[in-house]
A = this chain, B = another copy of it.
Amino acid sequence: MRLAELSERSGVSTATIKYYLREGLLQPGRRVSATQAEYDDAHVRRLRLVRALIQLGKVPVATAREVIAAAEDESLDHHLRLGAATWALPAEPEPPEDDPDAAAAGRTVGALLEHVGWRHDQKAGEVSPAHRTLVAAVAALRRLGYPCGVAHLLPYARLAAQLAVTDLDMVEEQPTEAGQIEAAVALTVLYEPVLLSLRRLAHAEESARRFMDDDGADSTAGA
Contact = CB atoms under 8 A, between A and B. Distances in A.
A113 interface: yes
Interface stretch (A14-22, A28-36, A64-72, A77-85): A77-85
Interface in A177-214: 177, 183-184, 186-188, 190-208, 210-212
A57 to B, nearest CB: 9
A165 interface: yes
A79 B146 contact: no
A162 B164 contact: no
Interface of A: 45, 48-49, 52, 55-56, 58, 77-80, 82-83, 86, 89, 92, 113, 118-121, 128, 130-131, 133-134, 136-138, 140-141, 143-144, 146-148, 152-153, 155-157, 159-168, 170, 172-173, 177, 183-184, 186-188, 190-208, 210-212, 218, 220-221, 223
B195 A160 contact: yes
A188 B146 CA distance: 12
